[in-house]
Structure 1
Amino acid sequence: MARALHQLSGRSKGPFMAINCAAIPEALLESELFGHAKGAFSGADQAQEGLISQADGGTLFLDEIGDMPLALQAKLLRVLESGRYRPLGASEERCADLRLVAATHQPLREHIRAQNFRADLYYRLGQFPLTLPPLAERRDDITQLAQSFIADFCAREARDDMGITPAALRLLQQRNYPGNVRELKNLIDYACAMTPQGGDIDAYLIPGEQEGDAQTAPNSPISSTLLPLPNDIDDLRQALRDVETAIIRQRLMHFGGNRAQAAASLGLPKRTLAHKCQLLELDTK
């Protein structure tokens, strides 16, 4: 969404820089944003531009801004108010002309009351608020997103163009998606990797939901999916082997790799399932 805002804006010809504030250690986040001068700290053998400088004339996206340390929030507020900042260890200030887009899943109003987030920064960031509904509330987007992720995978992995069957799309439409769009992307990447060259993603290649996520019937331990069968089978043994492999892999993923639970759900002794995993060359470690 942040990238779309940039590409559709008057700054589209400028740079787009992004950082996840929760993924960078606090000690490094300030340097990543503001840059540093040579000798600013131990190991700073040369000066380095920060993302604020690199985003000059374009857009800076701060993901998970709710996890930004308080001290850094004050410095960011000054950039937004004055357009000026000072790299670590530098003696002179610099100017920055950028659009700031921020995102968070944190309840910022609660953090303000707990004094973990600055109220002045919150209201400065709220100049134009946008609420992006979770994927479960906009299921009409799932098909288009899935097709986009498939195209990205094929381009990234130099694979032939790949489609997705209606059965697989129906299965994707039925999920809860507690992980939102990232969860859908991971599902598609896995299914693409497991789809043979020249084939389309089928329903049996979509991993099952994790235990506790799926909405199943009270007496049903797991959700079941009817596996669609191809019409061009010319080797029954290999076809049965492929189906067995898909079922075991899907069941293992459902139980997080727990062979005992997977074996029990399939009515098999654990040793038998382990032997099948070895024969089918299934890596469940």
Structure 2
Amino acid sequence: MSAAVWDPAHYLTYADERGRPFVELLTRVRAESPVDVVDLGCGPGNLTALLAQRWPAARVRGLDASPEMIAAAHASSSAAPQDVEYEVADLRAWLTRGEEVDVLVSNATLQWVPDHLDLLPDLVARVRPGGWIAVQVPGNFEEPSHTLRDEIAARAPYAGFTRDIAVPDAHDARTYAEALASLGCEVDAWETTYLHVLHGPDPVFAWVSGTGARPTLAALPGGVREAYEAEFKAALREAYPEGPAGVLLPFRRVFVVARVCEAGSR
């Protein structure tokens, strides 16, 4: 399975809307003076910079498996230095290093990692006692923006190209809370449904083609991809009609913030 090439500029089309969950997540992390802070799946680095602003004395690192995203993060950091180190690194590979941090953030990343619930013990093990782990994942996989993508991709002639592509998936807040509590963490978990107001031509397609639908689109060759896009856009326009405020996109997000308890504190 070849990895999709990510487009930082496209991803940042809705930077404000995509950034709101990160800010909400960060407000519940009560670390005071962390030394090491890591953002796993940092994307183009625009949100990782907020970690450096929150904890200016910390060593802040952003890791992402996409060379394109890290290149964009380096470019942004060069234009406006935020004292953040960026590195191309896969989440699973980073776990094998055995590094320890005080704050571990994973924002809108774990949904791309198959069986990521099984990785929670390893993620917690990378956080020093008394440190924090903060995770946010989408929880909207039953919405038309996702179900229509898969339904159309399963039809001929698209199915032959999209059968083995990566598709995002995640769990509800209770599942993450129980898993982290069983690992000895103090847990705060919740869900929020945002109602994004979108404008412009085919705005829902513009949103999903920068994230969840990108591997599907990348798997389709020229000619086939254009036909798929036309079908997908038409279906999305019907599912998300424009109203007086614009096109309304409900987006459920799942959050969990956990403090790793110190030895003997439980």
TM-score, with length taken from structure 2: 0.31
| Richer in helix (by share) | 1
Structure number with greater CO (CA < 8 Å, separation at least 6) is 2
TM-score, with length taken from structure 1: 0.30
